[in-house]
Amino acid sequence: MSLQEKLTAALKEFDMLPRPAMKVVAGVSGGADSVALVHALTRLEENAPEIIVCHFNHRLRGRESERDEEFVSRLCEKLDLRFEVSSCDTEAFSKQKKLSIESAARELRYEFFAEVCEKTGAERIATAHTADDRAETVLMRMLRGSGTLGISSIKPRSDNLIRPLINVSREEVMEYLADAGEKWVEDSSNDLTIFTRNRVRKQLLPLLETFNPQMKKALNRLADTAGRQSSYISLQASRIFPQVFTSPGTKGLLAGSVSEFRAVHRAVRSELLRTAYATATGGLERLEFSHLEEMDALLMSPARSGAVSLPRGAAMEKSYGFFCLVLRCGAADDYKLTVKGEGAKDLPDGNSAFFEKTSDISLWERRDVGHFSLEKTGFPIEVRNFRPGDRTVPLGMSGTKKLKSVFTERKIPSFLRTRLPIFTCKGEIIWAGGVVISDSHKAVKGAQNLRIKLDGLVPDLLETRRGG
């Protein structure tokens, strides 16, 4: 098959362009691969897209970088394509973000592509990754010790990102350009062996091909196999996730049952933890295999409690039969809210409370609902978080007791204690939401009482603790 035929087949097989005239952002550096990509896309006869060429000048190679930008601009004029360009001091950005030059360049480039998509309404981003790029990436991930998910990276399609040349070799790219009479520019940094990818391309792959001349094809088959396995594991993890993580999950906190987690197959547990981390923190940045191993080891150990520090200020904490992934820097600061009358009130950390006067006792036994005597309790009511030294009179007792002691006796984990709303009236604690009601303010059945219904993250976590 020719390059054009392979590109057309990939577009169909992976449903990259399901409709005619779709707007597609094509990342074009000016190198051979990207020139072949944009040229072949313009030759499509079926479902031909509207192409928007994007070039990002990383300002890393002085005059050569300017040359590349000028080349792509002229190419767009020749092919009558819309041209979008941007630039940034990538080296300064990499230092600011503490990223490698390669990672910084990629982040800036894809951020620019996304901006152009938003501006133009483009639905796809096309990049010129080839089968050679994929083989190199597989080797790099293997050297890093990646699992099936890492090895399966550079997929033909990932959401709105498409790679039409994924089954095309670099040799086929060069043949295509020669036949088309198209020129390209060479990136001199591709010869620098300070970059891992260049060493893999120039040193490691040629060595491996002395053992297997079809090494690149073998690595691509491995990526395909790993992709299918990874996809199946992800599917299993998505099905099991609601059983293990029984709290709703908001950015900043997600809790689950230790016993449910332990019942999951080892191959799926890592994916569960990866998804949980992304849910709690908003992404997977800086999460490494070693972090997943530490979390898994803690949850599978007989230790009743423990913690694992994670990137981005996050942590996983285990206590009293369940565990929590928490973004510590996302925890609420000390707060105090005043409730002056009946109705709903939003609280920090994903909670809310509803206040009403009622004689109804249908919710009397629910732990997320508190009932209080109107003779001793009334508005305004203050809601705040737990403070050291807090005391109350637990239901059934006559003297005060430290809330900390109550929490310990009832096995309330430390990370949940800081998120429990504390309800007070005239300076006295009437309810540690979902945990303990003050005997001094207890309701009277059959009488008109004040009812407070707690909703959101805390009651769900308390149910997780009860079931874990």
* Span 231-264, pLDDT tens digits: 999 999 999 999 998 655 444 678 888 999 999 9
Q: Is residue 230 part of a domain?
A: no
| CA pair distance 124, 122, nearest whole angstrom | 6
Q: Are residues 141 and 16 in the same domain?
A: yes
Question: In this predicted structure, what is the pLDDT of residue 463?
Answer: 55
Give the chain's residues under pLDDT 70.
Answer: 246-252, 328-333, 349-350, 415, 456-468
Q: Is residue 244 part of a domain?
A: no
Q: Are residues 346 and 314 in the same domain?
A: no
Q: Are residues 46 and 194 in the same domain?
A: yes
Q: Are residues 269 and 315 in the same domain?
A: yes
Question: In this predicted structure, what is the pLDDT of residue 330?
Answer: 44
Strand-strand pairing, 449-456 and 351-358: antiparallel
Task: Provide the whole-model pTM.
Answer: 0.71
Q: Is residue 288 part of a domain?
A: yes
Domain of residue 418: give its range.
Answer: 336-467
Domain end position, chosen among 272, 298, 330: 330
> Phi and psi for 254 in degrees, rounded to 5?
-155, 130
Tell me which residue of 332, 331, 295, 330 sits closest to 310, measured CA to CA: 295
Tokens representing 311 are 């990137």
Residues 6+ apart with CB under 8 A from 313: 327, 328, 329
β-strand partners of 456: 351
Q: Is residue 233 part of a domain?
A: no
Q: Is residue 77 part of a domain?
A: yes
∠ CA 316-319-324 to the nearest 5 degrees?
A: 35
Question: In this predicted structure, what is the pLDDT of residue 408?
Answer: 85
Question: In this predicted structure, what is the pLDDT of residue 161?
Answer: 97
| CA pair distance 181, 105, nearest whole angstrom | 30
- Could you report the per-residue pLDDT of 18-39, keeping only the tens digit for each? 998 999 999 999 999 999 999 9
Q: Is residue 242 part of a domain?
A: no
Q: Are residues 127 and 172 in the same domain?
A: yes
434, 386 Cβ separation under 8 angstroms: no
Total count of domains within the chain: 3
406: amino acid identity, one letter: V
Counting every residue written for the chain, the total comes to: 468
Q: Are residues 16 and 99 in the same domain?
A: yes
Tokens representing 467 are 């079931």
